[in-house]
Amino acid sequence: MLGRIHSMESFGTVDGPGVRLVIFLQGCPMRCLYCHNPDTWNMDGGTQMSADDILSQYEKNHTFYEKGGITVTGGEPLMQLPFVIELFQAAKARSIHTCLDTSGITFRPERPELLKQFDRLIAVTDLVLLDIKNIDPQAHVRLTGQKLDPVLAFARYLDDKSVPVWLRHVIVPGITYKADLLYQLGQFIATLHNIQSIDVLPYHDMGKAKYKKLGISYPLEKVTPLGQEEALAARQIILRGIRDEQTAVHSLSR
């Protein structure tokens, strides 16, 4: 089986534990206003590679990956679900730590055959980096062009399967940098039991050059990048939502 690969990063340090080989796959159904990889949207782009091709790249630098592994991201890697399954199965056969960076947007629990594929994937996935773009359903559509339901369903599915999750959330001024939305996100997170970390990422506009090169207008042209202090403040609101929800549940159970 061949996957369409946009690019690879040999020594990634922010996409899972340790030093990792990070594979960026082509294809994404979302059109996030702040996306900094619009060149990954097209399913027909990239270079075709097999799982063996990728693992050969891994073996060239395997001594650096002893405490790391492989991370598959995108685009949206679940657009190439069968390929990711094959890659992760081959990686686990070599005892390589596997990490999936996804929004969960393609998850459809009402489709039995697709759910079986997800079960196969999760069986060989050690960690999921789950990106929840916006906790408000209408705002999620405006931000990404896609519904929120599959994302939350996937989060609950991972919780049911006890798959470790590092949750990611991008803070964008005027869009997700709102106290009520951050608090609601915290309340949702409190219903899950598999969240190992919460990474709040400040919005940046480093993708502008790609939009210009592709001849695409940049949707957030007038939005100023957010500082780290604001991102830390946003994280505190999320944590407060988690604490308050957990306290409320505890009180009801007494």
pLDDT at residue 108 tops 70:
yes
The chain-wide mean pLDDT, for the chain, equals 94
Amino acid found at 117: Q
Name the CA dihedral angle for 10, 14, 18, 23, rounded to a multiple of 10 degrees.
Answer: -40
Mean pLDDT throughout 83-105? Answer: 98
Q: CA 37 from chain center: how many Å? A: 13
- To 5 degrees, how large is the angle CA 155–CA 159–CA 160? 120
The pLDDT > 90 percentage for the chain reads 89
Domains of the chain: 2-170+193-214 (3.20.20.70)
The pLDDT > 70 percentage for the chain reads 98
Task: Give the C-alpha distances (Å, rounded to integers) separating 89 from 123, 200, 233.
Answer: 9, 31, 40
pLDDT digits (tens, 9 = 90+) for 157-215: 999 999 999 999 999 999 999 999 999 999 999 999 999 999 999 999 888 889 989 99
Residue with tokens 């009520």: 180
Amino acid found at 178: K
Report the SS3 class of residue 232.
helix
pLDDT on residue 151: 98
What is the rounded CA–CA span in Å between residue 175 and residue 159?
27
Q: Residue 163: CB partners within 8 Å, gap ≥ 6?
A: 122, 125, 127, 128, 194
Tell me the whole-structure pTM to 2 decimals.
0.94
Q: How many residues does the chain have?
A: 254
Contact 124, 91 (CB under 8 A): yes
What is the rounded CA–CA span in Å between residue 39 and residue 98?
25
**163 exposure class (CB count in 10 Å sphere: 0-12, 13-18, 19+):** middle
Helix 112-122 and helix 81-93: axis angle, to 10°?
30
Q: How many CB atoms lie within 10 A of CB 8?
A: 16
**Quick one: residue 18, left, alpha or beta (phi over 0 = left, psi -120 to 50 = alpha)?**
left
pLDDT on residue 184: 97
Residue with tokens 């001849």: 215
**118 exposure class (CB count in 10 Å sphere: 0-12, 13-18, 19+):** buried
pLDDT at residue 24 tops 70:
yes
pLDDT at residue 250 tops 70:
no
pLDDT at residue 252 tops 60:
no
pLDDT at residue 254 tops 70:
no
pLDDT on residue 219: 92
What is the rounded CA–CA span in Å between residue 40 and residue 56?
23
pLDDT on residue 253: 57
Mean pLDDT throughout 71-100? Answer: 97
